[in-house]
Amino acid sequence: MSDFYHGLFRSHTGADGRTHLMRHEAGPARIPCPTTGRPLRVATIDANTAAICPACASHGQGGFVSFDGDLRMAYACPECRQLVWVEGA
Ligand SMILES: [Zn+2]
């Protein structure tokens, strides 16, 4: 189950019966870029954040990842179990 999101997050079911994403304590410092395969260094991780998934449009308690030297962010969706890449501003 830690294969989801490159091991950056782990999911657990909250008291409300919904899936929440928590930061994985032993998560990697880098994950591969989805287009080039180049390792991107993780800068910040915000877990258990209410958001709407850009891929499946569901509301969830997901996680955001930002990277050093890269404007993109990745959203970890607890519903479709994808790491969805979002263009930065
Ligand atoms: Zn989704």
Q: What digits encode the pLDDT tens for the residues 24-60? A: 999 999 999 999 999 999 999 999 999 999 999 999 9
Q: Which residues share a beta bridge with 80? A: none
**How many angstroms is it from 84 CA to the middle of ligand 1?**
8
* pTM for this prediction: 0.90
To the nearest whole percent, how much of the chain has pLDDT over 90?
85
More confident of the two residues 70 and 1: 70
Q: What does the mean pLDDT of the chain come to?
A: 92
Largest CA distance in the chain: 39
Cα 39 to middle of ligand 1, angstroms: 23
**Residue 4's pLDDT is what?**
80
Q: Which DSSP string corresponds to the chain?
A: -TTGGGGSEEEEE-TTS-EEEEE-TT--SEEE-TTT--EEEEEEEEEEEEEE-TTT--EEEEEEEEETTEEEEEEE-TTT--EEEE---
Q: List the one residue out of 64, 51, 58 whose CA is nearest residue 79.
A: 58
> Is residue 1 very low, low, confident or very high in pLDDT (cuts 50, 70, 90)?
very low
Where do the structural domains in the chain lie, given as residue ranges? 4-86
Distance between Cα 40 and ligand 1 center (Å): 22
Say whether pLDDT at 10 is over 70.
Answer: yes
